[in-house]
Homo-oligomer: A and B are copies of this chain.
């Protein structure tokens, strides 16, 4: 029931919680031990009522006098959006974008770890980039099965994205961060988040007109 209950949370709320957690880490490092909803809201670029609404979904509670405990709230968010053990993730496509992602995650990320990168380029095999070892694509299925990997990041050229996706899904991946400009076809029940730089920049350009 706990598990099924979690799956209810919607993607936007999860994203905001992730952001709150990052802000809480900063606050904790600064030695603050409590925070009000409107403070978190300012840091995260949202509204105080939105923050309180988001926090409702994880059974925490603050107090009217001092707000929320920075430590407790951070732990509650971690419990809600990350699991107890670190979740292993693979990344496919170690070009500029893939390297940027690896660099970003090389440390400091609670709840998840990019355990391996894969690339079709023989030049890249055997290298370690930002702490993550890179393998040839032929090792992908074995590695997925071995570690029971359920989450993947796609930072490869669009041409081979669907093919790799089919491979991933066939090997048990159920959640994909798709940084390709292709919209993937996946079976029902597989979550895909599209982070399409082209679309993002065109949108920004539109609002800059």
Contacts and interface: CB of A to CB of B under 8 A. Distances in A.
A81 B206 CA distance: 6
**In the complex this chain forms, how many copies of it are found?**
2
Contacts of A70: none
A43 interface: yes
Chain A interface residue bracket vs B = 35 or more
14 contacts: A15-B202, A81-B202, A81-B205, A96-B99, A100-B100, A104-B197, A111-B202, A112-B202, A151-B204, A151-B208, A153-B201, A177-B201, A193-B200, A195-B200
A209 B19 contact: no
A100 B151 CA distance: 22
B175 A205 contact: yes
Contact of A201 (B9, B44, B105, B184): B105
Nearest to A177: B204
Given A183-B43, A183-B45, A205 B104 contact: no
Interface string A107-124: 001011000000000000
